[in-house]
Chains A and B, each alone.
Chain A
């Protein structure tokens, strides 16, 4: 089954509607001829996948111009499906990190399974660049065990190699009291290779483990006409590793708990993730540290005939320890405010990456319900604190923001959010987030 795909293509290709004349179907005839010709010689399975995609692209493109009215729209959508989903080579679009602007690129995806081993693979390679010179490239291999499992939970390993080029990221200084007036820009090159595994155990628990190589190179002197470069305002004394590249060997493990194991719309659900990681600086720089990270998400939807909405409470705690003489590089410290580098949004009225420190504590409450399906109402309240020391991690002097917005819902869940956030004395923030996951992962998972 090829599933629904993104609204972008519905929009783009849906506009191609005009009169046309029905007749015999030369598109299908040509596709059939191309397949026959391909079958006359031997090819590798990967070459055959590419050829199949090429034939289907031509066939569905041809169908657009053969049809008329709504059928033309459907055929345009079908072309979009072949273009962006399934195995083969596909264009991708989106951002890279918050502030990177629009990015586009190419990805190629393949999946394979073994007859003789209970293992299934999905591989992706992707490269993407943005209009503001951000770029990323990399590859990912997902490996699943496929032995019998009564509850469809299997060991899952992910091997990743990525490189990011991020020329301009916001930096305001460290801690909860950093001033917005101190906004500067820095650049960062980052390369990582990572192996991670999740092993399900009974009662919804999983044990996780990871091993990672992480190379980071902060590159200053990336100010704009209005915002200075980081080195013009900050020094290595108040910004650890300001001019230092680092090379880490990271190892760690953790626990994940999901209740209930089978996802549901109604009732309570809990997702708890914790990890402990050792960041060993391997090049001799004084930046080794350890990090403890917990995310706890609690959701409740009353089981009633009428939609009473869904309440979510999301808590996150990050604590870091650095041995004597060591510190956590500023570019590896978690951020809150707007959206962080992993696209996690908290304190949404603030600018992206607004507060940064080795330790972070946040609480978020969200309420979402249908106004008139498919439109929904979203209300939220965020509080958070970025603390320079673990002793400062308490609930005093927390930053806060709140907001309201609309959602577009499908299948009883929001797939698109548009919100306006305010509070916190640094202005307001209007943002939208799309989550087309509810329309299914129309393609094999990309790298990013």
Chain B
């Protein structure tokens, strides 16, 4: 696809460790086009208890106190439902999330919980007004840094480890942009916030890096480079709290950070009318998603002892934002190599001949989403309640389903055997609604898995 002559800037914000269903899945209730979930649509089995359904009731913090597993062996279990090293089915069943979290000592029900749209007002306002990419998968069924490497390089060079050392890895998209006479920069939140780019962008640091305050200034003063990659606040420091949404960091703080990024771009009309902003998460962080990650069409030839890099990782939320992008849902399959591929396509040339690695050469790009001939002026009031079009339908007050009631009774049975004191305080006959059932099961599981 040729470059879009209206776009002069591509901005990417990559958040941390949340799955698509967890963050955006329940928008399906109001927008059936979204390949999301309804409460009770899917279940995951756990040891000694009835299968756990997808539910609402995700919490901003304090829910995933134990960090859900997301290294390669954990994700293998989550996707195939059996521990790594045992015979696995040929296709993932996406049914091992609850057991994977259970075996780490977490409450397995929490891994199936999703946010209702109104609980994440910024994310859902953006998702309602621009295009949701509901088939965006992490590049590798593994942890943060290999996935982020795919966004920076178009490959992780066959690595699944979490060493930040990419000193010898070249060329990154930033270096390729520079060679092509373009500008590219990583903006990180503060001097203590860190970025993988610190290890591979050692020369010309002044032009490759900025802090969060520089991003705000550059947006205001029309100094934004052609390509910008934003690292969110990863750590609590001084009066700032981590806002990257990595469990167990506050999700609402991250939602506010999305707003800050959007408003920085949106507040300058010149910039806004020439920018494609992508908001995407690096990996699912061990949290349930129902979509089966597809096989990689064109592997890059790098492999690891444990993995052939022939299948994508779990699906993550992604939203494409621009005044030239209409509200909608896009089912094109993307992965993180779609980011450098899009940047290459827009600023350097055809990725097929200008990208160094196969995954990026063949990745679907995003420029086809810029379908509007004129910029669309959207003014979002993030402080307002969600628009009527996205008003969620709560299932909390509905009568409890038979499936859910069976689970209540089975949980109560386990409690009677193993925790009779707790069981005496819980009466299944009082469960009348879905909300009652969710509360009952959560209380029971908390006792079973303290």
Contacts and interface: CB of A to CB of B under 8 A. Distances in A.
A208 to B, nearest CB: 10
Contacts of A260: 213, 216
Given A264-B210, A373-B204, A148 B192 contact: no
Contacts of A38: 103-105
Given A28-B72, A48-B105, A115-B63, A307 B159 contact: no
B105 A45 contact: yes
A114 B248 CA distance: 10
What 7 A-B pairs are tightest by C-beta distance, nearest first? Answer: A440-B194, A39-B103, A48-B105, A264-B213, A29-B85, A262-B213, A4-B164
B162 A48 contact: no
Given A1-B244, A48-B66, 13 more contacts: A2-B162, A25-B306, A28-B73, A29-B85, A40-B47, A52-B67, A74-B159, A77-B163, A111-B248, A152-B243, A262-B212, A410-B202, A411-B197
A63 B162 CA distance: 12
Contacts of B77: 32
A264 B449 contact: no
Interface of A: 1-5, 10, 22-25, 28-29, 31-33, 35-36, 38-40, 42-45, 47-49, 51-52, 56, 60, 63, 66-67, 70-71, 73-78, 81, 111-116, 120, 122, 142, 144, 146, 148-156, 198, 200, 206, 260-267, 269, 303, 305-307, 370, 372-374, 409-413, 437-441
6 contacts: A4-B164, A112-B65, A262-B212, A262-B216, A265-B210, A266-B210
B239 A148 contact: no
Contacts of B268: none
A113 B104 contact: no
A25 B305 contact: yes
A151 B145 CA distance: 27
Interface stretch (B228-236, B323-331, B369-377): B228-236
A440 B257 CA distance: 19
A119 to B, nearest CB: 9
Interface in B23-59: 47, 59
A370 B237 CA distance: 27
B288 interface: no
A120 B241 contact: yes
B11 to A, nearest CB: 16
Given A24-B305, A113-B61, A373-B205, A437 B192 contact: yes
Contacts of A43: 105, 450
Given A29-B85, A63-B161, A373-B205, A411 B198 contact: yes
Contacts of B259: 150
Contact of A142 (B62, B161, B209, B236): B236
B106 A48 contact: yes
> Which of A32, A42, A60 is most buried by chain B, counting CB atoms within 10 A of its CB?
A32
Contacts of A3: 164, 194, 234
B315 interface: no
Contact of B203 (A1, A51, A60, A374): A374
Given A154-B239, A305-B207, A440-B192, A74 B234 contact: no
A373 B210 contact: no
B205 A75 contact: no
Nearest to A37: B103
B59 A115 contact: yes
A373 B202 contact: yes
Interface in B46-96: 47, 59-63, 65-67, 69, 71-74, 76-77, 83-85
A153 B257 CA distance: 12
B442 to A, nearest CB: 10
Contacts of A115: 59-63
B250 interface: yes
B387 interface: no
Contacts, number: 259
Nearest to B158: A71
Contact of A10 (B145, B165, B235): B165
B214 interface: yes
B162 A78 contact: yes
Interface in B248-297: 248, 250, 252-253, 256-257, 259-260, 282
A409 B203 CA distance: 9
B450 A2 contact: no
Contacts of A305: 207
Given A39-B104, A115-B59, A374-B205, A262 B239 contact: no
> Which of B202, B246, B282 is most buried by chain A, counting CB atoms within 10 A of its CB?
B202
Contacts of B214: 264-266
Given A51-B105, A122-B236, A35 B252 contact: no
A47 B104 CA distance: 10
Nearest to B307: A25
Interface string B429-450: 0000000000000000000111
Given A1-B145, A373-B202, A411-B188, A112 B62 contact: yes
Contacts of B103: 35-36, 38-40
A66 B209 CA distance: 36
Contact of A4 (B74, B199, B250): B199
A23 B194 contact: no
Contacts of A148: 252, 256
A146 B61 contact: yes
B360 interface: no
A263 to B, nearest CB: 5
A260 to B, nearest CB: 5
B253 A32 contact: no
Contact of A1 (B104, B144, B217): B144
Given A32-B85, A198-B238, A437-B192, A78 B210 contact: no
> Which of A71, A115, A264, A267 is most buried by chain B, counting CB atoms within 10 A of its CB?
A264
Given A264-B212, A438-B192, A29 B84 contact: yes
Nearest to B196: A4
A440 B235 contact: yes
A146 B241 contact: yes
Contacts of A31: 73, 84
B198 A438 contact: yes
B417 interface: no
Contacts of B71: 56
B424 interface: no
Nearest to A67: B305
B353 interface: no
A154 B239 CA distance: 5
B402 interface: no
A370 B202 CA distance: 11
A194 to B, nearest CB: 17
A206 B239 contact: yes
Contacts of A39: 47, 99, 102-105
Given A39-B102, A438-B198, A440-B194, A32 B84 contact: yes
A74 B168 CA distance: 11
A377 to B, nearest CB: 14
